[in-house]
Structure 1
């Protein structure tokens, strides 16, 4: 498993190491992690890398706001075009367009800030069991697939596909047999292998990882999931704020909730804490949760 983790993390780092085509123009490739189109976290993470390469290294990303415009084609390269919106003494702003087949699939604004001192406060980290006491999402997914004979082979492959991020939920949610529950979840996560000591890279990897599980939180009260027949789901936007330096190769707690859903859209939020209880990032996302066909009744 350790070797697999190192291979998966290296593959993620390769994805984030964009090819420079021209000044402020980059190209990236995609990986199939079991969805129908390019994983939104991958596009956001690559866009973050593209933007970061155009600013002073003394400035770190402190916020990003992105919109997913079209599904990404996993078989085609993605070109990232960076516009220099502003360079100030403390802040810099970049706009990134991710383009495939001549059309934008993702658009993002990123703001960068030099480190400085100021007032500090935060909410307390939730009191939950530590990651060492929990089962990894990889192990749970394999068990879920093996226990459901009705799951088609193609779905078994999609659900069983592993990623570079180790995730351990405090109260696991079976996406193949979802129950109805309060729209709240707590998930510990970290990269499956050490990362280079590069804060900009850690923030790009966090951007990638912050898309896992967030939208699903808005489905909890309804007992449905991405794999429910007739369910159409897609991230519509994604916002992320970095509050302090962080390490994604050490355990982080992702505390997520969904305050509401309406008009086939679900809103999800998240707070990310390190092991010391420091708030390192905040996240918000709205996503499409459209039931296109009547939901089949579950067996009693």
Structure 2
């Protein structure tokens, strides 16, 4: 996948009936299905059962089994409730007879009310000052560890620019934070809000566990740690535009018991808070 059109071809599911949809998978460099793909596809299924123009405002999901890249995924949607203001859907994803994922999503009618938000951190380096993943692959190709080089060689519909780059050749412990600018590749004009939320959800599963590993980076890295998303929650606050860079600012309050917890806020370049994410993931040291 190289553009937003390729991503949409992946995320927009084939309809089986009014409550069942089928999807396929594309690798992001892992031997199993990318969690962000399953999250976004499940939201695509849920949103297509909403007929009252309500807008997604939150979702909560659990990853139950690793997904097989070669096997289609079926998403079954249950109508939990259509109330006066909110609609709730539950989505269950299966591969053959195995349930691999469950998600609950809530949709709200548009209303006026009070508004406030936290502020984006001041002094964050702008994307024009930073190297992208593509730049890193090109500039440091010969010096990168094999696993990292292979990961960066995967073609993606999203460009990422971290505000700081940990040197894998001089590992040291870092603060439990991680900040990444991201932008879609290709023509983003005409995307409706539901589609933008699904794409944003896909992207939100990238990078977030980095914040949980950073405090242990002197000894822990992606090559010696088994990682996987365990659960994922997201709250959607405001409409936004994908035509400019967005900042994903993440922090990890705690790691324990081979699990790491992280949360993140997604801002526009102007500092408008678009969404908040929370995830716990497996970060299990691989014992030789």
TM-score (normalised: structure 2): 0.93
Offset at 1:178?
4.7
Offset at 1:177?
6.7
2:72 equivalent among 69, 73, 77: 77
Q: Is 1:164 the counterpart of 2:157 in the alignment?
A: yes
User: Does the 8 Å CA contact 2:62/2:231 hold for their aligned counterparts?
Assistant: yes
User: Does the 8 Å CA contact 1:240/1:284 hold for their aligned counterparts?
Assistant: yes
The number of equivalent residue pairs is 284
**3-state SS, counterpart of residue 236 of structure 1:** strand
TM-aligned CA distance change 1:142 to 1:70, over 3 Å: farther
CA deviations over 1:184-208 (Å, ceiling 9, x no partner): 1111112112323311000000000
User: Does the 8 Å CA contact 1:26/1:50 hold for their aligned counterparts?
Assistant: yes
Per the alignment, residue 187 of structure 2 pairs with 194
Offset at 1:72?
0.5
2:247 equivalent among 242, 253, 275: 253
Per the alignment, residue 107 of structure 1 pairs with 102
CA distance in 1, matches of 2:57, 2:12: 20
Per the alignment, residue 89 of structure 1 pairs with 84
1:137-286 matches, within 5 Å, as 137-148=133-144, 151=146, 156-173=149-166, 178-195=171-188, 196-223=190-217, 224-228=220-224, 231-286=225-280
User: Does the 8 Å CA contact 2:3/2:184 hold for their aligned counterparts?
Assistant: no
User: Does the 8 Å CA contact 1:176/1:225 hold for their aligned counterparts?
Assistant: no
CA distance in 2, matches of 1:176, 1:117: 52
User: Does the 8 Å CA contact 1:145/1:159 hold for their aligned counterparts?
Assistant: no
Offset at 1:183?
1.0
Unaligned runs of 5+ in 1: 295-300
Offset at 1:117?
1.0
Deviates more, 1:206-215 or 1:135-144: 135-144
User: Does the 8 Å CA contact 2:226/2:286 hold for their aligned counterparts?
Assistant: yes
CA distance in 1, matches of 2:65, 2:171: 28
RMSD between superposed Cα atoms in Å: 1.8
TM-aligned CA distance change 1:176 to 1:270, over 3 Å: farther
Deviates more, 1:16-25 or 1:130-139: 130-139
**3-state SS, counterpart of residue 172 of structure 1:** coil
Per the alignment, residue 116 of structure 1 pairs with 111
TM-aligned CA distance change 1:57 to 1:209, over 3 Å: farther
CA distance in 2, matches of 1:39, 1:65: 17
**3-state SS, counterpart of residue 80 of structure 2:** strand
**3-state SS, counterpart of residue 3 of structure 2:** helix
User: Does the 8 Å CA contact 1:175/1:227 hold for their aligned counterparts?
Assistant: no
CA distance in 1, matches of 2:127, 2:256: 33
**3-state SS, counterpart of residue 190 of structure 1:** strand
CA distance in 1, matches of 2:87, 2:75: 18
Per the alignment, residue 298 of structure 1 pairs with none
